[in-house]
């Protein structure tokens, strides 16, 4: 391959004139394309790095934050964000995704607000928290996936006697990068009541496989109207998928029950079950993802790194990094990625290695 030239003034015989020209261009806030190094490389220059966070560390620090830090107005959310060391101190797990662990103590309430970044929760431990999404109370239990789509009001309640910890993912870095992040505080709260009712979203759209209301309104939201995906359904589906597989690896994608699209326009959610001794074969894809080890134990390699995963551990796969996993025991993993964005823009590339 012929090396590209990057016409520095030194390369010219009429160096002084070229030098002067480059100065004049810069003075008018212009830059020549022909002097740009690294603008377009063969493969994307990727800043976020493969990284692993241990549940044991996060849990200890979250519990300590529960003792030290109140969550009244101002604090709002007791959240420790996964900070990818490749991103220069930004509180982001990957280039496009915010990932965090939220801790809500007994009888605490995280007050109402909304933002144009979309969010989702996947519950790791605890019980009894519910979240109010645009007025609809949605219970949260371990293994459940709960959505708070972009610009929906949300507040979290823990009316019980025990703390709860869950994983949050938001498309916040992506929304910030396109300068479209808006935020609004909500009305202050009312009562920290117990909720045992099933959410209206589940009553209307949670009927089960392929069963959706006939008389849906013409105007549909651009996200799943079903806001909670329950562990018992996820577990049962993974179990039957796995029983049909020879290779010991089953995966499902959470989808909008009305149209099969991803649950929200910017994030794809999936759940993976790998039988003891089985593998997720090496692969790579554009777009980044955050993985959460819900159960089991496994070894994963991401790019040049290798991580040993235990219950609750999280890791990030940057864009175009290879990923392969092998399970020591049966292992369940939740995954959130920015795949719908890449697909919508015609930028999805995937390959098995």
Q: Which is nearer to ligand GTQ, 58 or 280 (CB)?
A: 58
Q: Which is nearer to ligand GTQ, 177 or 308 (CB)?
A: 177
Retrieve residue 64's tokens: 């300590």
Q: Regarding beta strands 109-115 and 183-185, do their DSSP bridges make them parallel or antiparallel, or are they unpaired? A: antiparallel
| Other Cβ atoms closer than 10 A to 26 | 11
CB of 114 to ligand GTQ, least distance (A): 9
Q: Which residue is nearest to ligand GTQ (CB)?
A: 168
| Other Cβ atoms closer than 10 A to 197 | 13
DSSP letter for each residue of 97-112: -EEEEEEE-TT-EEEE
Q: How far apart are CA 192 and CA 105, in angstroms?
A: 13
Closest by alpha carbon to 304, among 122, 57, 46, 10?
46
Q: Which is nearer to ligand GTQ, 147 or 274 (CB)?
A: 147
Radius of gyration of the chain (CA): 23
Retrieve residue 236's tokens: 């049962």
CB of 100 to ligand GTQ, least distance (A): 4
Q: Which is nearer to ligand GTQ, 100 or 123 (CB)?
A: 100
Q: How far apart are CA 241 and CA 238, in angstroms?
A: 5
Q: Which is nearer to ligand GTQ, 124 or 323 (CB)?
A: 124
Q: Which is nearer to ligand GTQ, 22 or 153 (CB)?
A: 153
CB of 336 to ligand GTQ, least distance (A): 12
3-state secondary structure at position 176: helix
CB of 340 to ligand GTQ, least distance (A): 20
CB of 83 to ligand GTQ, least distance (A): 13
Closest by alpha carbon to 52, among 337, 338, 310?
310
Q: How far apart are CA 279 and CA 84, in angstroms?
A: 26
CB of 169 to ligand GTQ, least distance (A): 8
Q: Which is nearer to ligand GTQ, 154 or 268 (CB)?
A: 154
Tell me which residues touch ligand GTQ (CB under 6 A): 77, 79, 100, 102, 119, 154, 168, 170
* 107 Cβ contact partners less than 8 Å away, ≥ 6 residues apart: 158, 159, 160, 161, 192
CB of 171 to ligand GTQ, least distance (A): 11
Q: Are 344 and 268 in contact (CB under 8 A)?
A: no
CB of 208 to ligand GTQ, least distance (A): 29
Q: How far apart are CA 220 and CA 63, in angstroms?
A: 40
Q: Which is nearer to ligand GTQ, 12 or 151 (CB)?
A: 151
């Amino acid at each position: 391959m012929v090396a590209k030239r990057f016409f520095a003034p030194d390369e010219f015989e009429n160096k002084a004139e070229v030098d002067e020209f480059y100065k004049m261009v810069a003075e008018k806030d212009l830059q020549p394309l022909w002097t740009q190094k690294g603008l377009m490389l063969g493969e994307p220059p990727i800043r976020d790095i493969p990284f692993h966070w241990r549940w044991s560390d996060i849990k200890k620090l979250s519990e300590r934050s529960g003792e030290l830090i109140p969550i009244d107005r101002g604090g709002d959310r007791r959240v420790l964000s996964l900070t990818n060391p490749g991103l220069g101190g930004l509180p982001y797990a990957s280039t496009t995704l915010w990932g965090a662990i939220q801790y809500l103590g007994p009888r605490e309430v995280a007050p109402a607000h909304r933002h144009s970044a979309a969010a989702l929760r996947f519950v790791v431990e605890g019980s009894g928290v519910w979240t109010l999404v645009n007025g609809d109370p949605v219970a949260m239990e371990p293994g459940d996936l709960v959505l708070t789509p972009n610009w929906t009001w949300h507040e979290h309640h823990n009316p019980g006697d025990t703390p709860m910890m869950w994983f949050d993912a938001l498309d916040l870095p992506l929304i910030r990068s396109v300068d479209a992040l808006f935020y609004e505080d909500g009305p202050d709260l009312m009562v920290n009541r117990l909720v045992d009712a099933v959410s209206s979203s589940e009553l209307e759209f949670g009927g089960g496989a392929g069963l959706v209301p006939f008389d849906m309104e013409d105007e549909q939201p651009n996200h799943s109207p079903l806001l909670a995906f329950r562990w018992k359904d996820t577990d049962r589906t993974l179990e039957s998928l796995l029983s049909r597989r020879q290779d010991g690896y089953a995966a499902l994608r959470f989808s909008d029950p009305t149209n099969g699209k991803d649950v929200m326009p910017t994030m794809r959610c999936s759940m993976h079950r790998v039988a003891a001794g089985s593998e997720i074969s090496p692969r790579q894809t554009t777009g980044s993802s955050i993985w959460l080890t819900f159960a089991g134990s496994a070894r994963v390699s991401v790019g040049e790194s290798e991580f040993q995963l235990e219950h609750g551990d999280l890791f990030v796969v940057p864009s175009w990094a290879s990923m392969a996993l092998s399970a020591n025991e049966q292992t369940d993993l939740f995954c959130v990625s920015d795949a719908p964005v890449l697909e919508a823009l015609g930028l999805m590339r995937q390959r098995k290695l």
